[in-house]
Amino acid sequence: MVFRELKETGKTIASAPKEFLMATLLVGEILVFGGCASIMRSGMPNSEQFSEQKSGTSMEKLKQIIEKYPGTLRAANAYHDMGIIYFYDKHDPWAAIECFDKILEINPRNQLALFNRGLLYTNIYLGGFFIAWDDAEWSFKRLIELNPNDPKMHDQLAEFYDKTYYPKKAEEQYKIAKELEDLQKTFKKNK
C-alpha cells in the first residue's frame, strides 16, 4: 500500500514524513531502504527493541520448545522468533528462511511465515542470487491464494514485481488491488 500511495502522488520514500514511515513500519507494511525490505516482526518497531525484549529467550530455549512441542503452535511461534533472531541478530537470511519453512510445514496457511519468506527471498534475489526469484514469487502468490479478495495481498505481489523489474506484472497487480479496494469501499458505503 505504501508504494502505491507514494507512486500515485509522485513522492518517494525519502519525501514521506517520518511519522508516516514509523507508523507504517509498526503495522508491518513493507518499506524498502536501499533495496532492503523490512520483514514483519509482529509489531516490533525495530530490531534493537526486538533483541532487547528477546534477550532472555536464548536460541537454546527456543530449540527446547520446538523439541518439547513438535508440530504445534508453540513450536511455530518458536520458529518465528528464531527466524527473526537469525535475520536481525545473526544476519543469516538462509537460516531465517529455514525457520519460516518449518512454520509452513506445521501450518501451510501461515501468512506471516509466507510474507517474511517472500521478503527474504526478494532481498536475496536483489543481492544477486537470481535463483531466489521463483521462491519469492511463490510466497506472495500463495498469500493471494489464501486471500484472493484482499487488496493488500495483491499490493505485496505488485511491490515484489516492481522491485524485481517486472513493471507490466506489477501494474496488473496494482490494478487488481485498486479494483478490490474500490469494491470494498462501495460495499462498506452500501451497508
DSSP structure class, residue 131: G
Helix (H, G, I), strand (E, B) or coil at 27: coil
One-character DSSP codes across 36-83: EEPPP-TT---HHHHHHHHTTS-HHHHHHHHHHSTTSHHHHHHHHHHH
Return the domain boundaries, the chain.
Answer: 2-189
Could you tell me if 100 and 79 are in contact, meaning their C-beta atoms sit under 8 angstroms apart? Answer: yes
Q: Which pLDDT belongs to residue 51?
A: 52
Q: Which pLDDT belongs to residue 191?
A: 75
Q: CB neighbours (10 Å) of residue 161?
A: 20
Q: Which pLDDT belongs to residue 40?
A: 52
- pLDDT, averaged per 10 consecutive residues of the chain (191 residues), comes to 44 37 32 38 45 61 96 96 92 95 97 95 89 94 96 95 94 96 88 75
pTM of the model: 0.70
How, if at all, do strands 36-37 and 32-33 pair? antiparallel
Could you tell me if 39 and 87 are in contact, meaning their C-beta atoms sit under 8 angstroms apart? Answer: yes
- Which top CATH class is 2-189? mainly alpha
Label residue 98 exposed, middle or buried (CB < 10 Å: 0-12, 13-18, 19+). Answer: middle
Q: Which pLDDT belongs to residue 57?
A: 57
Residue the block writes with cell 511463490: 138
Q: What share of the chain is helix, strand, coil (3-state, %, to 5)?
A: 70, 0, 25
